């Protein structure tokens, strides 16, 4: 490729700083609120680059963050990759053992940590000889009495606001994120400059989640979840405003920021927006600025789509995974579907959608052959594309089962309709194989969740001598509900929509359902706990 044409992250920052210098970046932190513009942001990114270089960070080194969504975390997004190092965003909600494993596996040279995550980090580094107290930088403005490490502001203060960025190869690693480890140890996924560049460009197309310089973008999804699904990079490239909600934002915080900062686009998991809806139903809110929310991480309830439609806010259902950088498909309506009746449009929008431009998909059945796009035949979703990883960091020996001829085997069991929209039926490890038939645990869960008095549920397959597996449901009920009556209602409902053998052999009422570090239900832990 000719010189100057490399697909790196450098021109993304250059564009924002030079063409939108006065665009605002608003951020909540532990100590208050910060407000500045792209020009000041760029200056601080340059200062951080000098500080990292002086510290000894070299090309290829990894720099980690344990941090919430705020402007300092956002500054590391560009500074670390642009000096040729690799930004490793760590999920602080993982178990202490998983964080220990990740820190040791990544061999991070420096860690930026928020005050609230210091106890987690202290516990983790006690067992890792390669990380010392001097390798930590506190993101807050003042030092801690019981853990005296330099602050971020001390780290960057004396350095100049300009930096001569090195020329980088587009294949230079820029980011690193680990999977949640639901089926074993977390696995590292590397992102090169080209992968992040390509993901950003495709995301900004009309078939992605288009962002313009007229938008103000607020990622509620944590920045340690695969670069906040790419929204900070896409918003910067577009010259849009940023709003970062800071540590542990609740529904009131989210609504207040939307109203005050005139947020037009936001992103988060469905549970966040269901809580916002509940808050809005009991308080006076003003969502007139909010045009779009991107939703992913789990299935979007159709009721949520309908509610936001009545408030002139479009819900865009996206699907992805750590290995996909992360967005792979988006459920925008094709022009051929815009005139169908409303409920049919809702049905279509609730699916996981069609691939972003540049991504290919196929569904592979048990026989190893492609399944037809008939909205009925089940198969495992395979994807490939310029920003889809093809192996795991440092563990190419474990990659064979997940990758094949450039395709990523996602582990998601799907149907694909004749328009190309995928609908995730279950995870491969969670599909219940009973008497030669497949039973979707997700579909049973969706039926159970429709009943009043159900707070949460999980359905798994349990071993059965005759049928191989049979479904078992675990339900957290509301205290006011009679379990026997609820069981009868659920059984009747399932039988009305599916074959009788879909009815769980066991329906057990529990006080708690195990969760992963990302807040998802951990069916692995349920199996270990109840089987």
Q: Of 179, 237, 292, 329, which one is the catalytic site residue? A: 179
Q: Looking at residue 398, what is its pLDDT?
A: 56
Q: Looking at residue 439, what is its pLDDT?
A: 87
Name the CATH architecture for the domain at 10-349. Answer: 3-Layer(aba) Sandwich (3.40)
Closest of 531, 508, 23, 469 to residue 242, by C-alpha: 23
The rounded radius of gyration (Å) of the Cα atoms in the chain is 23
Name the CATH architecture for the domain at 357-427. Answer: Roll (2.30)
CA distance linking residue 92 with residue 6, whole number of Å: 34
Q: Of 323, 380, 391, 445, which one is the catalytic site residue? A: 323
Q: Domain locations in the chain?
A: 10-349, 357-427, 432-530
Is 323 among the residues known to form the active site? yes
Q: Of 334, 369, 433, 515, which one is the catalytic site residue? A: 433
Which H or E element spans position 235?
helix 231-238
The conformation of residue 180, written as its DSSP 8-state character, comes to -
CA distance linking residue 230 with residue 128, whole number of Å: 31
Q: Looking at residue 182, what is its pLDDT?
A: 56
Name the CATH architecture for the domain at 432-530. Answer: 2-Layer Sandwich (3.30)
Is 273 among the residues known to form the active site? no
CA distance linking residue 407 with residue 464, whole number of Å: 34
Q: Of 33, 212, 438, 528, which one is the catalytic site residue? A: 438
Closest of 209, 410, 395 to residue 322, by C-alpha: 410
Cα–Cα–Cα angle for 277, 281, 285, nearest 5°? 85
Q: Cβ(444)–Cβ(424) under 8 Å?
A: no
Please give the torsion angle defined by the CA atoms of residues 153, 158, 162 and 167, in that order, rounded to the nearest 10 degrees.
Answer: -80
Closest of 369, 372, 333 to residue 351, by C-alpha: 333
CB-based contacts of 302-307 (< 8 A; 24+ apart in sequence) = 302/346, 302/347, 302/350, 304/270, 304/273, 304/274, 304/277, 305/346, 305/349, 305/350, 306/346, 307/277
SS3 208: coil
CA distance linking residue 385 with residue 407, whole number of Å: 8
Closest of 494, 497, 496 to residue 471, by C-alpha: 494
CA distance linking residue 521 with residue 525, whole number of Å: 9
- Over residues 57-75, the pLDDT tens digits come to 999 999 999 999 999 999 9
- Structure tokens given for 221: 């999804």
Which ranges in 20-163 belong to alpha helices (H)?
38-55, 71-82, 96-106, 118-125, 152-156
- Structure tokens given for 409: 């085997």
Q: Looking at residue 122, what is its pLDDT?
A: 84
Q: What are phi and psi of 311, to 5 degrees?
A: -110, 20
Q: Cβ(468)–Cβ(435) under 8 Å?
A: yes
Q: Looking at residue 181, what is its pLDDT?
A: 64
Closest of 338, 294, 334 to residue 420, by C-alpha: 334
> What's this model's pTM, rounded to 2 decimal places?
0.86
Does residue 326 have a cis bond before it (omega within 30 degrees)? yes
| pLDDT, one tens digit for every residue, the chain (531 residues) | 555 568 999 999 999 999 999 999 999 998 899 999 999 999 999 999 999 999 999 999 999 999 999 999 999 999 999 999 999 999 988 877 888 889 989 999 999 999 999 998 888 777 776 677 779 999 998 999 888 899 999 999 999 999 999 999 999 999 999 987 655 678 999 999 999 999 999 999 999 999 999 999 999 999 999 999 999 999 999 999 999 999 989 999 999 999 999 999 999 988 899 899 999 999 999 999 999 999 998 788 898 999 999 999 999 999 999 999 999 999 999 999 999 999 999 999 999 999 999 999 999 998 999 999 999 999 999 999 999 999 999 876 555 678 999 999 998 989 999 999 999 988 877 888 887 777 888 889 989 998 988 989 999 999 888 888 899 999 999 888 888 899 999 999 999 988 888 999 999 999 999 887 666 788 888 888 866
CA distance linking residue 179 with residue 181, whole number of Å: 5
CA distance linking residue 415 with residue 56, whole number of Å: 50
Q: What are phi and psi of 28, to 5 degrees?
A: -95, 140
Q: Cβ(266)–Cβ(218) under 8 Å?
A: yes
């Amino acid at each position: 490729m000719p010189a100057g044409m490399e697909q790196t992250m450098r021109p993304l920052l250059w564009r924002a700083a030079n063409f939108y210098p006065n665009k605002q970046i608003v951020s909540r932190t532990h100590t208050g609120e910060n407000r500045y513009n792209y020009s000041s942001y760029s200056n601080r990114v340059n200062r951080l680059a000098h500080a990292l270089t002086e510290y000894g960070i070299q090309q290829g080194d990894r720099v980690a963050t344990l941090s919430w969504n705020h402007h300092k975390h956002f500054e590391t997004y560009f500074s670390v990759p642009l000096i040729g190092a690799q930004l490793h965003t760590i999920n602080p909600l993982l178990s202490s053992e998983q964080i220990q494993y990740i820190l040791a596996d990544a061999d991070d040279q420096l860690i930026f940590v928020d005050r609230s995550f210091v106890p987690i980090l202290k516990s983790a580094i006690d067992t890792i000889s390669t990380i010392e107290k001097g390798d930590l930088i506190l993101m807050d403005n003042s030092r801690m009495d019981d853990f005296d490490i330099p602050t971020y502001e001390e780290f960057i203060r004396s350095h100049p606001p300009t930096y001569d960025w090195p020329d980088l190869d587009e294949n230079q690693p820029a980011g690193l994120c680990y999977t949640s480890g639901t089926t074993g140890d977390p696995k590292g996924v590397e992102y090169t400059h080209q992968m992040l560049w390509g993901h950003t460009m495709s995301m900004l197309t009309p078939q992605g989640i288009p962002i313009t310089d007229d938008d103000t973008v607020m990622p509620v999804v944590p920045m340690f979840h695969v670069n906040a699904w790419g929204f900070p990079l896409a918003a910067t490239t577009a010259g849009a405003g940023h709003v970062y909600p800071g540590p542990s934002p609740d529904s009131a915080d989210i609504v207040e920021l939307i109203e005050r900062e005139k947020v037009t686009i936001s992103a988060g998991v469905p549970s966040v927006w269901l809580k916002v809806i509940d808050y809005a139903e009991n308080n006076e809110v003003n969502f007139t600025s909010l045009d779009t929310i991107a939703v992913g991480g789990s299935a979007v309830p159709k009721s949520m789509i309908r509610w936001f439609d009545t408030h002139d806010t479009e819900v865009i259902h996206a699907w992805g995974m750590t290995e996909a950088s992360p967005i792979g498909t988006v459920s925008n309506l094709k022009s051929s579907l815009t005139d169908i009746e409303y409920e049919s449009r809702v049905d279509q929008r609730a699916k996981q959608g069609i691939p972003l431009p540049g991504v290919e998909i196929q569904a592979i059945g048990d026989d190893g052959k492609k399944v037809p796009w008939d909205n009925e035949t089940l198969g495992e979703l395979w994807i490939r594309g310029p920003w889809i990883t093809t192996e795991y960091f440092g563990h190419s020996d474990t990659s064979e089962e997940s990758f094949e001829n450039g395709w990523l085997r996602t582990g998601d069991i799907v149907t694909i309709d004749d328009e190309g929209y995928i609908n995730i039926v279950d995870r491969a490890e969670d599909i219940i194989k009973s008497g030669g038939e497949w039973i979707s645990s997700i579909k049973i869960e969706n039926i159970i969740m429709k009943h009043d008095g159900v707070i949460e549920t999980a359905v798994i397959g349990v071993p059965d001598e005759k049928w191989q597996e049979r479904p078992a449901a675990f339900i957290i009920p509301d205290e006011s509900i009679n379990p026997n009556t609820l069981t009868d209602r659920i059984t009747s409902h399932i039988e009305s929509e599916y074959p009788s053998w879909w009815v769980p052999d066991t329906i057990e009422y529990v006080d708690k359902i195990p969760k992963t570090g990302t807040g998802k239900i951990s069916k692995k832990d349920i199996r270990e706990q109840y089987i």
